[in-house]
Structure 1
Amino acid sequence: MSQTISFHYDVPGDDFTRAGEASGSVKKALKQVGLAPDIIRNVAIAMYEGEINMVIHAGGGQIDVDIDPDAVRMVLKDQGPGIKDISLAMQEGWSTAPDDVRSLGFGAGMGLPNMKKYTDEMEIESTVGVGTTVTMTVFTHPREEAVS
């Protein structure tokens, strides 16, 4: 692959039947370009967790994905309520998901921690009452060690 392949997805809110469509589509594209299975798995998990967060907490959002020879970059943006305390939200098991969502098996408080775990870089920008943007990168090959 010598060029950048880009995708845009609109993630509908409160629709668990469609949650995962974007990550499934990207997973298929990554297989088609021949990326390693571990890279594909990491991207699919991180992106799926982000999609679910958009459905549960933000009423939907948008995802832009760029696949190039060096990395897969995902930008997830919503106009939801925002994250009041990002460091608290990053703690495993912490969740603001309502009981009806938890009864479906979602909202266990592992979304953001898993997004961080399965990516090489992750940045969260959030403003309460405005929305959240999460930028994640998974490199397609091992990074060179920094030379001291």
Structure 2
Amino acid sequence: MLPRHGIVLEFSLIGGDFDSAGEASSKIKRTLQQLGVRPEIIRRIAISAYEAEMNVIIHAYRGVIRAEIFSDRTELCVEDEGPGIRDVDLAMQEGYSTAPDHIREMGFGAGMGLPNMARCTDTLDIQTTPGIGTKLSMIINH
């Protein structure tokens, strides 16, 4: 049973640190499993967290991912210091990516991050300032 006040998990992310890529989202997923959250909900949260985590690692200098797990929902907040998103509407299109070639050669940067987050969340809010950074707020209802 999840506590009403929620459980908070927070992880620092470093841009370009592909060795640690996926660790934060894996720890969030593991915690959700231990708490007995339904597998289909865990899948949506894990995908959203992973995509957001990878966007920070691929595009930003640094960032933080925070998961607040409540009995009825999980809230994910990801804030980064980076280039920001110049055109959110364009970035929401499947396949659009600003990832450089060396990132794509590693198998990342396919342009599915934001579309996957939108598909897996009940609420997605994007606040971005070019040259400053981006804040993503996501809610996934249980």
SS of residue matched to 2:78: strand
1:1-148 mapped onto 2 (5 Å cutoff): 1-3=2-4, 4-140=6-142
Q: Higher Cα Rg: structure 1 or 2?
A: 1
**Quick one: distance in 1 between partners of 2:62 and 2:50?**
13
- Give a deviation string over 1:104-135, Cα, whole Å, max 9, x none: 00001001000111111100000011110000
Percentage identity across paired residues of the two chains: 48
Per the normalisation by structure 2, the TM-score is 0.96
Aligned residues: 140
**Quick one: distance in 1 between partners of 2:132 and 2:34?**
37
Unaligned runs of 5+ in 2: none
CA RMSD of the aligned region, Å? 0.7
